[in-house]
Amino acid sequence: MPHAAAWAELEAAARRDAGARIQDQFAADPDRLARLTLEAAGLHIDLSKQSWARAGLDAALALARACDVEGRRAALFNGEAVNLTEGRAVLHPALRAANGADFHALGEPVSAEVEAVRAEMKTYAEAVRSGNETGATGRAIRTVLHIGIGGSDLGPRLIWDALRPLDPAIDLRFVANIDPRDMAEALIGLEPETTLVVVVSKTFTTQETLTNAEAAKAWLAAALPAEGMARHFIGVTAAPDKATAFGCGRTFAFRDWVGGRYSLWSAVSLSCVIGLGWEAFLEFLDGAAALDRHFLEAPLERNGPVLMALADIYNVDGLNRPARSVAPYAHALRRLPAFLQQLEMESNGKRVRRDGSPVGRQTCPVVFGEPGSNGQHAFFQQLHQGPQVVPLDFVIVGRTCEDASSTPLWANALAQAQALMQGKTEGQARAELLASGASEAEADRLAPHKTFPGDRPSTTILMEALTPRSLGALIALYEHKTFVEGVLWDINSFDQWGVELGKALAKAVLKDVEAGAPSSDLDPSTADLLRRLTA
């Protein structure tokens, strides 16, 4: 097993730490807060409430060095074939680098191409926003209908939810689900003459996206002159010929070294550029580029993505905690948990190493979450008093709204993190009950129910305000964290073969539906369900 000694030391340290309470570590290690808090591209990251003692952190850092995180990081930024199953470079950092950068994908220079596409995006978006680029009848665009799925949807949707003006001059609607209800809801109140459809698909063959694009095309065709239809249809793709054949009047390209879940830095976010303006998008790119520099330059022991990855590894593999919750305390970040589900679980939900051999340990945790404080009134009960320990990421925004105080919101976040760590003993609970007037018998009966085990770890990411720059830094932080975890597990974080089997079988099932009966290849359960649905 690669790096077996380093893994063994980490697991031994985790076993030792399992018997020590997090709260007690602050007294045992007076430098703990200083060592485990850091600044990265405008984000304040606090890992001091994680489960590791000093020796545990040292073992985790030793594992990172044994797995050559620094060398693999260099390979990523140098454009080497880090996606080895598909023979591709992975160069999302090139998409947010400043003009004049010199990135190469497998030796091919790509930065000039990135800059050219950015210039096209800026020119087109500004033309739409100013009204110089109009629809078929000469009316200005008032709504962009963004059609995609997975990485072609979740990233732009997160950006728009996080940064949209309260009353935007150009609104964005998103359609991803193949359920016709999704499209029907998105089209309510829209006028074809003032609607621009942006279809995002890397291959322009994705079934869900093309089905929805056909529905949008039919909606436009019912109201617009045929010769002007193309002005309302934009394709964003790595297959521009297919987009043009579909009816897109204009296409914006991105390359195959841009993975779907890492593509929001590219023309995939053209809709957001139109809705927010170029300057906001440029600040978003700059925030991510600043985090890239931090990831490249900070030593491992002061490196935000590295330490966050090590905390995950420590919990998942060292302490057998196979789930993690993400709680953004900002309504505008409500899509962050869903975005991270794809980023992390599609990247690192793997069972074999890069050489094809079994991993032999847990890899990516199950990621789930809801915005605070909503989640407190839902699944936080399980986090506080359930038998499983589920680590949390708290993402706190100091000012979420210009016209109202966010203090009650972030005060709740701080209190939840504190309560998860401290807990409440049965003796404390009993004393509180007696102080409130309960009898001895009643205090004895209720105290176990009011006991909190505590010692539940969390990481807190704090930003002053949710700006394009801080959002870019936050997303890049999680991207690089995900990459580091893949290095430590020795897996390929950049393919996603797990989605292919279901897609292939869906095509076969659709053929059976069209034939009016299940084929002999179907299992009895699937065949029976198909008959019921087609009856």
Helix (H) or strand (E) holding 217: helix 207-221
> Buried b / exposed e across 114-125, counting CB within 10 Å, b at 16+?
beebbebbbebb
Whether pTM > 0.75 for this model: the answer is: yes
Q: What does the longest C-alpha to C-alpha distance in the chain come to? A: 84
Q: Amino acid identity, residue 418?
A: Q
Residue 453: other Cβ atoms inside 10 A? 15
Topology adopted by domain 92-283: Rossmann fold (3.40.50)
* Model confidence band, residue 441 (pLDDT cutoffs 50, 70, 90): very high
Q: What is the mean pLDDT of residues 271-295?
A: 98
Q: According to the model, what pLDDT value does residue 521 have?
A: 87
Q: Is 167 helix (H, G, I), strand (E, B) or coil?
A: coil
Q: How confident is the model at residue 19 (pLDDT cuts 50, 70, 90)?
A: confident
Catalytic residue flag (residue 331): no
Q: Could you state, in order of their start, the residue ranges of all structural domains in the chain?
A: 92-283, 424-453, 498-534
Q: How confident is the model at residue 525 (pLDDT cuts 50, 70, 90)?
A: very high
Whose CA is closest to 231, among 148, 119, 127?
Answer: 127
Residue 263's nearest CA partner among 339, 210, 195, 182 is: 339
Average pLDDT, integer, range 58-79: 98
Average pLDDT value for residue range 476-484: 98
| Type of residue at 189 | G
Mean per-residue pLDDT, 390-402: 95
453 within 8 A of 419, measured Cβ to Cβ:
no
Instruction: Kindly calculate the radius of gyration of the chain based on its CA atoms and give it in whole angstroms.
Output: 25
Residue 224 has pLDDT above 90, yes or no: yes
Per-residue CA distances from 340 to 281, 321, 350, 416, 417 (Å): 20, 18, 16, 21, 20
What's the DSSP call for residue 400? -
Of residues 354, 358, 323, the one with CA closest to residue 341:
323
Residue 172: in which H helix or E strand, if any? Answer: strand 171-175
Alpha helices in 180-266 (DSSP H): 180-187, 207-221, 240-246
- Catalytic, out of 208, 346, 370, 485: 346
Q: What is the pLDDT of residues 78-87, one digit of tens each?
A: 999 999 999 9
pLDDT for 169-214, tens place per residue? Answer: 999 999 999 999 999 999 999 999 999 999 999 999 889 999 999 9
Amino acid making up residue 172: L
Q: HSE on the CB side for 78, CA within 13 Å?
A: 9
Q: Calculate mean pLDDT across residues 433-438.
A: 97
Question: If 0-12 CB within 10 Å is exposed, 13-18 middle and 19+ buried, where does residue 388 land?
Answer: exposed
Res 2: pLDDT: 61
What pLDDT was estimated at residue 403? Answer: 80
pLDDT above 80: residue 1: no
Q: Which of 39, 464, 503, 511 is catalytic?
A: 503
Nearest-angstrom CA–CA distance, 339 and 379: 19
Q: What is the pLDDT of residue 499?
A: 85
Q: 344 an active-site residue? A: no
Decide: helix, strand or coil at residue 149. coil
User: Does 283 participate in catalysis according to the annotation?
Assistant: no
Are 369 and 343 contacting, i.e. CB atoms less than 8 angstroms apart? no
Catalytic residue among 227, 297, 377, 402, which?
377
**Residue 430: per-residue pLDDT:** 97
Order of strands across the sheet that contains 195-200: 171-175, 143-147, 195-200, 233-237, 250-253
Q: What is the mean pLDDT of residues 232-255?
A: 94
